[in-house]
Amino acid sequence: MAQEADFKCLRCGNSFRAPYSPETEPQERACPNCKSNSVRRVKEQKEAPGKK
């Protein structure tokens, strides 16, 4: 099953989930609400322990 990640549209502020795989990045994405391509992946806040 395809991995998914959270994304946020930087035009309309819409948050949504979309398929995401680090191996195939970057991918062209569009906000399902306003069709903008200014779509930013919402990264996890906490980093792995021991990571700089």
Q: Please answer whether residues 41 and 5 qualify as being in contact, where contact means their C-beta atoms are separated by less than 8 angstroms.
A: yes
Distance of alpha carbon 38 from alpha carbon 29, whole angstroms: 8
Distance of alpha carbon 33 from alpha carbon 14, whole angstroms: 7
Q: Given the complex with other proteins, which of 15 and 27 has the nearer CB atom?
A: 27
Minimum gap (Å) between residue 12 Cβ and other proteins: 9
Q: If binding is defined by CB under 8 A, does position 21 make contact with other proteins?
A: no
Q: If binding is defined by CB under 8 A, does position 26 make contact with other proteins?
A: yes
Residues that bind other proteins (CB under 8 A): 10-11, 26-28, 34-38, 40-41
